[in-house]
Chain A
């Protein structure tokens, strides 16, 4: 064993307490996990920061990285929303409350909340990548944290209303007087009273001020690609625009080599980078 007596490759034993479909096409499913041992729980929450991710582990199936979708104050559980893509996520989708699961984390740097104190926060998300932004919004909502930040603006787009995640909770955000929420879907639907259109266009309409503000963008590559220039046009400096990156990963702790862009490892140096940092990296994405 290493000096600190901990093998970072060992999965932490957990159980699923809640599992429910997030989208009406059943492609997105949310899982809430609790720790089997209190010391693992304490250790996790002593380190956890929104924007971080975990490796979920299933013996016989392997591991894959997922962003954390819960804030620490919500309780002693960890939430993940998993999109069914390949064999591993298909297997996870079949798990139910009571099933055991392994987890390694929290991993990565997370959002730079200390640097953002006293600023307006503009959160821009698309699709299932909104999960870590949901954790960030929840974090900011807590009465203890809310005074640390100024205005909170959330823009969240999905292809259809059926693919909108965390619906019931987000509907309550419209009643809050300490934030703005703008939801958008790509094409009009009956009974949809919010924005219709792509996220970059909604962002143009909302036009948040860059004064004393940071913008956080997470979404599919195509959305991010067209959203970043809009923010730059609005006057956001590259140092104040943040995004979270994804790459194929194995170890999650900067050893196995594969998730680098230039000399940065997404797992260890990221996944959150400022646009200024990204601009300094080679085009290896």
Chain B
């Protein structure tokens, strides 16, 4: 079943939803776009050629978040009431939605549930917007996803002239759109064509078959120092990455709060031990950790690549390092090593 949301009705629809839900949409912020709460004056940026700069993972794992408030003198703490509101994230791209399902396997395990993550997940509806014209920095099809991938979404919209055609993917999605007009057979056929065409537009960015084995073999090689040579270690590739989830826990003494902040394996202090020893003392080891985590360790954990091909690390690296080129170099480097031997 597919429904029609007319473009001219989007603002009104979001307003109506706002009565019952906190609604987040991509909005213009300076030269970029970012998911922000919808208001009557919001300037929507739904059809920007590029995805939001700031990843919507922040709506589940905020960049900085209070875990508890304490009273040092009484040695007591108050639990934080995490999120009572129901939320809709409208216009999230498939790469970001599938990244959230990857992070579910970290934060929502049988053994330990992270309540800050799971509460927000339970209370949030994800309405996705597929990518009819994926930009050149995107590579979702290479890593096993696609511009209309459905993982994690409750509904998926495809832009078609003056309307969005909405595919329902869950009960939550069905409830949200059940009063909308149904689409015609012609529209559904067009949607199918758009989705296939978008996928065909995307060239494979690197070889993924045996990539894990290649990287595992290169673990102690010079490959890492070569690809990390121009890296500044700024960490922006990890902060903006929708599948990076590392965090630090610190006590904010002046506010009497225990907080967690996004952290990054690209920083020296991340793995610095009290004894002075650091298992990842240079950017080569830290770059290795970043790439190995996504293209080797994730496969060990859930047999999936821990990258959804959103391209943010490619677009926003201040020195233009391109993870796709790094991974192509890995395959070539292995060949060189083998040839020399």
A257 to B109, CA, bound (A): 14
Bound Cα distance A102, B71 (Å)? 13
Chain A-chain B contacts (Cβ-Cβ < 8 Å), number: 120
**Given known A-B contacts A9-B68, A11-B77, A59-B72, A257 and B263 have beta carbons under 8 A apart:** yes
A251 → B minimal CB distance (Å): 7
Indicate if the CB atoms of B249 and A62 lie closer than 8 Å: yes
- With contacts A13-B75, A60-B253, A100-B75 known, is A2 near B265, CB below 8 A? no
Docked CA distance A263–B293 (Å): 7
Task: State whether A59 and B251 are in contact (beta carbons under 8 Å apart), knowing that A1-B115, A2-B113, A248-B273 are contacts in the complex.
Answer: yes
Interface locus among B203-211, B296-304, B310-318, B328-336: B296-304
**Chain A residue nearest to B258 in the complex (CB):** A59
Give chain A residues whose Cβ lies under 8 Å from the Cβ of B115: 1-2, 7
User: Within the complex, what minimum Cβ distance (angstroms) separates B51 from chain A?
Assistant: 23
A1-B119, A7-B79 in contact; A248/B271 too (CB < 8 A)? Answer: yes
B77 touches A10 (CB 8 A): yes
The distance in angstroms between the C-alpha atoms of A100 and B119, with both chains bound, is 30
**B-side interface size class:** 35 or more
Stretch at the interface among A150-158, A160-168, A231-239, A277-285: A277-285
List A contacts of B76 (CB < 8 A): 13
B13 contacts chain A at the CB level, 8 A cutoff: no
A254 and B109 in contact (CB under 8 A), knowing A59-B77, A61-B251, A260-B297? yes
Inter-chain contact B279/A247, CB cutoff 8 Å: yes
Task: Report Cα–Cα, A195/B273, bound state, in Å.
Answer: 32
On whether the beta carbons of B273 and A247 are closer than 8 Å, the reply is yes
Q: Which residues of B contact A (CB under 8 A)?
A: 67-68, 70-72, 75-77, 79, 106-107, 109, 111-115, 118-119, 216, 219-220, 245-251, 253, 256, 258, 260, 263, 265, 270-275, 277, 279-280, 285, 289, 292-293, 296-297, 300-301
A interface residues, Cβ below 8 angstroms from B = 1-4, 7-11, 13, 59-64, 85-86, 89, 100, 102, 221, 246-248, 250-251, 253-258, 260-263, 268, 282-285
| With A13-B75, A262-B292 already in contact, 9 other A-B pairs whose C-beta atoms are closer than 8 Å | A4-B113, A62-B249, A63-B249, A89-B274, A247-B271, A248-B273, A253-B112, A282-B216, A285-B279
